[in-house]
Amino acid sequence: MNHLSTDGSATYEASLKTMINLLQSNWRFDVSGRAGNDLNLKKFNKVTIVPLATDLRLLKNYLLLKAGEAVNRLARNAADANAYNTLLETVYFRVNTTE
């Protein structure tokens, strides 16, 4: 026994179809918008950890040691590709961390 009239049923069905179309068309924008807002909020609330001076000193000493070893290896054998790459990486890292 259906208590709804045919006109009322058609109206509800049309409203339901309209709601489904709206959800389907806006779903990706709503989800991506919320996800983007969540990522931005997390990015701004992220704690920045500054390295300690002792850690930076250890890193500098390590890079100088590795660079010195690479220079010595290159002095013995100018064609040592590993030594060249090590020297290149240590110099590059020191230049990029001082900017």
Helices (H), 1-99: 6-44, 53-76, 81-98
Buried b (16+ CB within 10 A) or exposed e, 13-47: eeeeeeeeeeeeeeeeeeeeeeeeeeeeeeeeeee
Give Cα 25 distance to the centre of its chain. 29
Note the pLDDT of residue 31.
67
Q: Is the pLDDT of residue 16 over 60?
A: yes
Q: What is the average per-residue pLDDT within 5-10?
A: 70
Q: Is the pLDDT of residue 99 over 60?
A: no
Q: pLDDT over 70 for what percent of the chain?
A: 76
Decide if 94 contacts 70 (C-beta within 8 A): no
Q: What is the average per-residue pLDDT within 22-47?
A: 70
Q: What is the pLDDT of the chain when averaged over all its residues?
A: 79
Q: What is the average per-residue pLDDT within 12-25?
A: 79
